[in-house]
Amino acid sequence: MTDRPIVAGKRVRACRFISLGVALAAGLVLTGWMLHAPTLLRVRSDLPAMNPITALCLLLGGLASARLATRESSALGRGLALAAAALAAMGLLAGFPAAGVIGDRLFAAWQARPEWRPMPQGTAAAMILIGLALALMDARALRTRTWSQVMVVMAMAPSLLTLGLLSFGAPLRSDLPLLQPMPIQTAVAIAALASAVLMIRPRGGVMEVVWGDTMGSATFRLMIPVVILVPVALGWLHLIGIGRFEELSQSAALVATLTTMMLVAGLWFVARGLSRAEAKRVEAERALVESQQRLEMVLHSVGVGVWDWNIEADTVTFDDIVKAQWHVEHDGPVRMQEVIAHIHPHDRRRAIGRVRRAVRVGHEYITSYRILHPDGAVRVLGARGYVTRDAQDRPVRLTGINWDMTLQHEAELARSHAQLQQLELKDQFISHVSHELRSPLTVVFSFLEILLDGLAGELNEQQREFLEISQRNAVQLRQMIDDLLDVTRAQTGKLAIHPRRMRVAGEIEATLEGLRPQALAKRLTLETALPEALPAALADPYRVRQVLTNLVDNAVKFTPEGGSIRVTVDEASEGLLLSVIDDGPGIPPAEREDIFRQLYQIDYGAPTARKGLGLGLYICRQLVTKMGGKIWVESAQGQGSRFCFTLPCYSPAAAIAPLLTPDNLARRAFHLLRITCQPSSARSWSDKDEAALIDVYEVVRSCTLPDRDMVLPRLGVEDDRESILVLACGDPAAVATLERRIQGQLSLSPALHSGRLAWIIHALALDPAIIPQQDPARWADALARNVETALDDAAAWRDAA
Amino acid sequence: MNPPGKKILVIDDDADLIKAIGTRLRAEGFACVSAGDGVQAMAAARREKPDLILLDLGLPGGDGYHVLERLKTLTPTSSTPVIVLSAKDPQVHEARSLAAGADAFFHKPAESATLMAAIQRLLGEVGPSTP
């Protein structure tokens, strides 16, 4: 046990003051007794004097209390307290006439001194209890503290009872069997000492109620003097002869005193109930505040701000972080409209859309947008919101968080930029290398052709065979260089695709025609199964031929001599399904996906098959995917392979579907513009015209407004002419503006070799007869039919021209 | 089989290729002159007044496009068909050279059959031009 001093508070000082006061008074009484000065022992000459043993007990108790009040634990204090208790016990025993032989002997001397009257039982019991309570006092153990407090309260009872009886005017010389009258000064001193002891360590234990910070405790403290001190004061007044009270019967006074004490006890219970309830509430509030502080701390440290939108009142409140993030200057709630004004114009529509959808149907949204600060700085914020709905499922509040992801965003941009730059460098490098490789290859190629064509003299059989082998390998080398270029383009997103309406049957025939010599050399049969009436596809004919060539070339390579290869076309749900079927060795199941990866080569052990970079199928997949199809292989080992790919069908209805937004449909004003291009002089369509037409198409596309106008996919050249169709949404004036814009851009465009292509722009009326008046859902079909009609019109116009 | 005496100017910095193309063209019955750079090309074009020009884009000391432009703007050759024969990326240079006035584009190495067919077609389009 340490003897550490306790920091002296107001209560400790009061306790010491009272304890020392009691000790001083007791000391005075003792001094008076020793000096035979009886006036010091009496209040009034007719009242009994304080027993000197009692005085000694009080002196010891007072000193012990004063000592213990200032120390966490004190051996001296405990010793003094125990001495007081022992003395009081002896005083108590001395009072019993039948204490037995030992008692008689022990207390003979005591009883011989008339002024050493035995202590009254009440006084003795009180002093024993106070002494023990002080000895038990421990700063740390709540249980002993509770017990010591209970003992002190019990010790107070006889003195309070005495004071009470006096107060209610009962005669001091009592006939009560158990209660010898206690001198009034003893009663006051014990009450004072007991109060002081209760003040020593009030925290915890039963006295918590008295000293607590709660309302219940405060009320209790307020009531105590009223309930106790008023009768005590009245008693004193009576004693010193000022009060004039009727003589009360002793029993009535006892009842009144006990009632007062029970009132105090009742008050204590009520106060305890109140303080416990209040303590719980205070504890809950404190926990709430703490958890809020913790949350705020976390949010602050990760830079997450919180905002709250009261939807009905349209007020947005936010914390300091959000304020800084959004650069909102003034305090207090603002309207949602003002908040939205801070969002970057490009992100505004999307952000509003997200919020609207969450409020309308959802519960949550997550998005990100840029914030434009007044100084021009742009911050990227992540946002997450939760919708609270009432019992009727109406949205009431939107609560959300914002976090700054500018740095993250910038890092991502830089990374993708660096990546793109790297790819760009690779692209440039490969483009350069392929150019440099091609020049010498061209020379080799040309001379091989010259030799094989016999321009340098007749060849014998062996010379011809060797030269043919050289040529075949030169062709392969050229293919590898082409593949290399395409792969790089696929990675940089530069693989150019110009989709248009096309017939796949013609492309298949042409492709097979080109590959027939190689098939013949291996005695393979090349067959096709092409249905009569196939819908047109929407694809780039050049790229379709590239894919077909790759697949058939592979089939020729891997099919053993005398086998057969079949190319078929079917209509499927995704459009057209093209298949190249061979009876080669097949592909193991594990490799069916891998073969479409870069640089993947199946090892069949057949030396002839191992030529190529392993890029062909990878490029095929890139091309088919970019044209909106899928490519895969079906195969069973030893039973050949079936390579399939799909191409979307040309469908005006599908093409214009994105334009049929509710907004556009509500306008119900669609117009068709047709730009017909043909060579300006009477000659057949050439590559140069094709290149020019691609330019025209791009120029027209650049003139249209996204969401409002749409350039339909190209129809393909027929009879040396092609029409580009634009579906425009808007009133006639807007369409006239679009027409002027296209006309102007086409004549200005430096990319168009002036005078090569002639173009005419026509505004075509939509046929009102097939536009449904009521059912917007059928607009897509109706417009598509109109587009088909326009196509027929174009044909008619051609015929007329 | 070919109109005799039609003269073709081959502009390329690769002497081996000029030799190869020359052999092929002469075998087809054309007269063939050649130039190794832009300056020579312009001089030859003025001097020889070719019926058709084969042009490589990657010429030393100058851009092939520059030569193409001058060929197409200067009077003696402005109506002479020009076929660009280049090893450069066709995805970029095909459209660009056609826009600059070329009549056809071939990516090296080209099959001589298709090249000859294009030459025949272009000479037929222009019609016989006797010097």
Q: Do residue A438 and residue B87 have CB atoms under 8 angstroms apart?
A: yes
- Give the residue, A259 or A249, on which the prediction is more confident: A259
- Kindly tell me the burial class for residue A468, based on how many C-beta atoms sit within 10 Å of its own C-beta (0-12, 13-18, 19 or more): middle
CA distance A321 to A297: 12
**Would you say A368 and A346 are in contact if contact means Cβ atoms under 8 Å apart?**
no
Exposure string over A136-171, b if 16+ CB within 10 A, otherwise e:
bbbbeeeebbebbbebbbebbbbbbbbbbbbbbbbe
Which chain A residue has the Cα nearest residue B16? A443
Which candidate from B14, B87, B91 shows the least CB-CB separation from A496?
B91
CA dihedral (A690, A691, A694, A699) positive or negative: negative
Rg of chain A taking only CA atoms, in angstroms: 54
Residue B9 has pLDDT above 90, yes or no: yes
**A754 touching B (Cβ < 8 Å):** no
Residue B87's region, left for phi above 0, alpha for psi from -120 to 50, else beta, is alpha
> How confident is the model over B21-29, as a mean pLDDT?
90
Rank A178-187, A208-217, A393-402 by mean pLDDT and report only the highest: A393-402
pLDDT at A177: 45
Which candidate from B14, B88, B112 shows the least CB-CB separation from A449?
B112
Rank A180-189, A264-273, A330-339, A503-512 by mean pLDDT and report only the highest: A503-512
Q: What is the 3-state secondary structure (H, E, C) of A202-260?
A: CCCCCCHHHHCCCHHHHHHHHHHHHHHHHHHHHHHHHHCCCCCCCCCCHHHHHHHHHHH
> How confident is the model over A647-655, as a mean pLDDT?
81
CA distance A370 to A390: 32
Q: What is the pLDDT confidence band of residue A217, given thresholds at 50, 70 and 90?
A: confident
CA distance B86 to B97: 10
Q: What is the pLDDT confidence band of residue A757, given thresholds at 50, 70 and 90?
A: confident
Question: What are the phi and psi torsion angles at A652 (to 5°)?
Answer: -55, -35
CA distance A636 to A641: 7
Residue A71 has pLDDT above 70, yes or no: yes
Which chain B residue has the Cα nearest residue A427? B89
Average pLDDT, chain B: 83
pLDDT at A301: 83
Residue B13 has pLDDT above 50, yes or no: yes
Q: Do residue A442 and residue B108 have CB atoms under 8 angstroms apart?
A: yes
Which chain A residue has the Cα nearest residue B56? A439
Average pLDDT, chain A: 78
Given the structure tokens 């037409």, which residue do they identify?
A693
Which candidate from B16, B88, B104 shows the least CB-CB separation from A443?
B16
Torsion of CA A220, A225, A227, A232, to 10 degrees: 160
Q: Do residue B101 and residue A478 have CB atoms under 8 angstroms apart?
A: no
Given the structure tokens 């992801």, which residue do they identify?
A405
Any long-range contacts for B112-119 (C-beta under 8 Å, 24+ apart)?
B112/A446, B112/A449, B112/A453, B112/B24, B115/B83, B115/B85, B116/B24, B116/B28, B118/B83, B119/B8, B119/B30, B119/B52, B119/B83
The model's pLDDT over A126-156, given as tens digits with 9 standing for 90+, comes to: 888 888 888 877 656 667 777 777 888 788 7
pLDDT at A80: 87
Note the maximum CA span of chain A.
165
**Would you say A236 and A45 are in contact if contact means Cβ atoms under 8 Å apart?**
no
Contact residues, chain A, for B108 at CB < 8 Å: 438-439, 441-442
The angle subtended at Cα A252 by Cα A251 and Cα A254, nearest 5°, is 60
Which chain A residue has the Cα nearest residue B58? A435
% chain A with pLDDT above 70? 79
Residue A604 tokens read as 């069949």
The angle subtended at Cα A525 by Cα A524 and Cα A530, nearest 5°, is 145
> How confident is the model over A659-686, as a mean pLDDT?
75
Q: What is the pLDDT confidence band of residue A705, given thresholds at 50, 70 and 90?
A: confident
> Which DSSP symbol is given to A751?
T
pTM of the entire predicted model: 0.51
Residue A44 has pLDDT above 60, yes or no: no
Contact residues, chain A, for B111 at CB < 8 Å: 449
pLDDT at B129: 42
Q: What is the pLDDT confidence band of residue A180, given thresholds at 50, 70 and 90?
A: low
Q: Do residue B109 and residue A683 have CB atoms under 8 angstroms apart?
A: no
Instruction: Name the nearest CA neighbour of A253 among A166, A328, A131, A179.
Output: A166
- Give the residue, A623 or A717, on which the prediction is more confident: A623
Contact residues, chain B, for A688 at CB < 8 Å: 98, 102-104
Q: Do residue B98 and residue A450 have CB atoms under 8 angstroms apart?
A: no
- Give the residue, B129 or A170, on which the prediction is more confident: A170
Name B104's Cβ contacts closer than 8 Å, sequence gap at least 6. Answer: A686, A687, A688, B81, B83, B84, B118, B122
DSSP string of A145-179?
HHHHHHHHHHHHHHHHHHHHHHHTT--SS---SS-
Q: What is the pLDDT confidence band of residue A647, given thresholds at 50, 70 and 90?
A: very high
pLDDT at A511: 87
Given the structure tokens 């919708």, which residue do they identify?
A387
Which candidate from B20, B105, B125 shows the least CB-CB separation from A443?
B20
The model's pLDDT over A462-492, given as tens digits with 9 standing for 90+, comes to: 998 899 888 888 888 888 888 888 887 777 7
Q: Do residue A438 and residue B109 have CB atoms under 8 angstroms apart?
A: yes
> Which DSSP symbol is given to B111?
P
Which candidate from B24, B87, B125 shows the least CB-CB separation from A435?
B87
Residue A547 has pLDDT above 80, yes or no: yes
Q: Do residue A688 and residue B94 have CB atoms under 8 angstroms apart?
A: no
The count of CB pairs under 8 A between chains A and B is: 86
Q: What is the pLDDT confidence band of residue A170, given thresholds at 50, 70 and 90?
A: low
What are the residues facing A366 on neighbouring strands?
Answer: A384
Name A74's Cβ contacts closer than 8 Å, sequence gap at least 6. Answer: A3, A67, A68
CA distance B89 to B112: 19
Distance between B44 CA and the closest CA of chain A, angstroms: 23
The model's pLDDT over A389-406, given as tens digits with 9 standing for 90+, comes to: 888 888 888 888 888 888
Distance between A622 CA and the closest CA of chain B, angstroms: 16
CA distance A359 to A446: 71
Q: What is the pLDDT confidence band of residue A644, given thresholds at 50, 70 and 90?
A: very high
Which chain B residue has the Cα nearest residue A447? B20
Q: Do residue B87 and residue A478 have CB atoms under 8 angstroms apart?
A: no
Name A628's Cβ contacts closer than 8 Å, sequence gap at least 6. Answer: A499, A538, A647, A648
pLDDT at A515: 86
Rank A233-247, A345-359, A591-605 by mean pLDDT and report only the highest: A345-359
Which chain A residue has the Cα nearest residue B96? A751
Q: What is the 3-state secondary structure (H, E, C) of A32-91?
A: HHHCCCHHHHCCCCCCCCCCHHHHHHHHHHHHHHHHHHHECCCHHHHHHHHHHHHHHHHH
The model's pLDDT over A727-750, given as tens digits with 9 standing for 90+, comes to: 887 777 888 888 888 888 887 776
Lowest average pLDDT, out of A33-47, A136-150, A389-403, A706-720, goes to A33-47
**A278 touching B (Cβ < 8 Å):** no
% chain A with pLDDT above 90? 5
The model's pLDDT over A603-642, given as tens digits with 9 standing for 90+, comes to: 655 555 555 667 788 889 989 998 889 999 888 777 888 9
Residue B118 has pLDDT above 70, yes or no: yes
Rg of chain B taking only CA atoms, in angstroms: 13
The angle subtended at Cα A104 by Cα A101 and Cα A110, nearest 5°, is 165
Residue type, A193: L
The model's pLDDT over A570-594, given as tens digits with 9 standing for 90+, comes to: 988 888 999 999 888 888 887 778 8
pLDDT at A116: 60
- Kindly tell me the burial class for residue A674, based on how many C-beta atoms sit within 10 Å of its own C-beta (0-12, 13-18, 19 or more): buried
Residue A193 has pLDDT above 70, yes or no: yes
**A521 touching B (Cβ < 8 Å):** no
- Chain A interface, best mutation among B89, B103, B107, B125, by max A CB count within 10 A: B89
Question: What are the phi and psi torsion angles at A677 (to 5°)?
Answer: -120, 140
Distance between A429 CA and the closest CA of chain B, angstroms: 12
Which candidate from A446, A496, A687 shows the least CB-CB separation from B21?
A446
Residue A376's region, left for phi above 0, alpha for psi from -120 to 50, else beta, is left
**Would you say A29 and A40 are in contact if contact means Cβ atoms under 8 Å apart?**
yes
**Would you say A735 and A673 are in contact if contact means Cβ atoms under 8 Å apart?**
yes
CA distance A544 to A626: 11
Q: What is the pLDDT confidence band of residue A2, given thresholds at 50, 70 and 90?
A: very low
Contact residues, chain B, for A474 at CB < 8 Å: 109
- Give the residue, A172 or A517, on which the prediction is more confident: A517
**A378 touching B (Cβ < 8 Å):** no
pLDDT at B1: 47
Residue A98 has pLDDT above 90, yes or no: no
Residue B70 tokens read as 């001058």
Distances (CA, A) of A661 to A160, A464, A544, A781: 92, 66, 32, 14
Q: Residues 464-503, chain A: which have Cβ within 8 Å of B?
A: 474, 478, 485, 489, 494, 496
> Which DSSP symbol is given to A650?
P
Residue A275 tokens read as 């303080």
Residue A598 tokens read as 């870069």
A158 upstream amide cis, omega within 30 of 0 = no
Q: What is the pLDDT confidence band of residue A1, given thresholds at 50, 70 and 90?
A: very low
**Would you say B76 and B30 are in contact if contact means Cβ atoms under 8 Å apart?**
no
Distances (CA, A) of B113 to A335, A450, B90, B116: 75, 11, 19, 5
CA distance A445 to B24: 12
Residue A16 has pLDDT above 80, yes or no: yes
CA distance B93 to B56: 11
Residue A453 tokens read as 């064509």
**A752 touching B (Cβ < 8 Å):** yes
**A447 touching B (Cβ < 8 Å):** yes
Exposure string over A318-348, b if 16+ CB within 10 A, otherwise e:
bbebbeebbeeeeeeebebeebeebbeeebb
Residue A693 has pLDDT above 70, yes or no: yes
Contact residues, chain B, for A510 at CB < 8 Å: none
Contact residues, chain A, for B91 at CB < 8 Å: 489, 494, 496
Question: What are the phi and psi torsion angles at A776 (to 5°)?
Answer: -65, -20
